[in-house]
Amino acid sequence: MGRVLVLYYSWSNGNTERVAQELADACGADVERIHTAAPYPKDYNRTVSQGKREVEKGFEPELMSLHHDPADYDVIAVGTPTWWYTMAPAVRTLLNSREWNGKVVVPFSTCAGWEGTALDDMAALARGARVAEPLTVTFGSDGGDRMVTDPRKVTDWAGRVAALA
Ligand SMILES: Cc1cc2nc3c(=O)[nH]c(=O)nc-3n(C[C@H](O)[C@H](O)[C@H](O)COP(=O)(O)O)c2cc1C
């Protein structure tokens, strides 16, 4: 039985955290939220603007150290909110700062209806990994915390990921 680690970034409402937690529960996995060293503004619109500039530049913010080492796991699920049609900059840093050879990486994202290319972009950065079971979960178009995707789809997915380990 392989070991599963769920790493995720979440900023707005904890939408990505909710999906990460359900996945971790289904897999009996260790779970950890990643944090940028410098916090984003508390104001939503200011973070939306800053996020746009960072995504356009491919900016990789410094992260706080992780408490879990992905090297110790066989399956690593990586979750992000969609920021400007791709992964949040923090997740770009995470994926680019490590080797993923020999690992199974499960990319997942949450969005407000405009999912863009976050999952494909994450898969491209998980160099050397076998990418499996990518999933986007859609929440309300107001940027809030109402899940639009059928929750059974998330539960089924979590079961399939658990079976990978
Ligand atoms: C900086 C920023 C950019 C965003 N860009 C998008 C986007 O391109 N497409 C989309 O559907 N939602 C976008 N959203 C909404 C979030 O992806 C969505 O609300 C997500 O579920 C939030 O997850 P969280 O609560 O874990 O942070 C954006 C939100 C922020 C803060």
- Asked whether 140 lines ligand 1 (CB < 6 A), one says no
CA neighbor of 87 nearest in space, from 37, 44, 136, 143: 136
Q: What is the pLDDT of residues 17-28, one digit of tens each?
A: 999 999 999 999
The range of the structural domain enclosing residue 98 comes to 4-164
Mean pLDDT for the chain overall: 97
- Asked whether 100 lines ligand 1 (CB < 6 A), one says no
pLDDT at site 82: 98
- DSSP, res 65: P
Structural domain tally of the chain?
Answer: 1
Confidence category of residue 52, pLDDT binned at 50, 70, 90? very high
Test site for ligand 1: of 13, 23, 35, 83, most ligand atoms within 8 A of the Cβ: 83
Q: In the predicted model, is pLDDT for residue 30 greater than 60?
A: yes
Could you please report the per-residue DSSP string of 14-44? SHHHHHHHHHHHHHT-EEEE--BSSPPPSSH
Q: In the predicted model, is pLDDT for residue 49 greater than 70?
A: yes
* pLDDT mean over 73-95: 98
pLDDT at site 7: 98
Q: What is the pLDDT of residues 124-148, one digit of tens each?
A: 999 999 999 999 999 999 999 999 9
Can you tell me which atom of ligand 1 is nearest the CA of 138? 21
Test site for ligand 1: of 82, 145, 147, most ligand atoms within 8 A of the Cβ: 82
Signed CA dihedral, 39, 122, 125, 22: sign only: positive
Q: What is the pLDDT of residues 90-112, one digit of tens each?
A: 999 999 999 999 999 999 999 99
Decide: 80 and 118 in contact? Cβ < 8 Å.
yes
What's the CATH code of the domain at 45?
Answer: 3.40.50.360
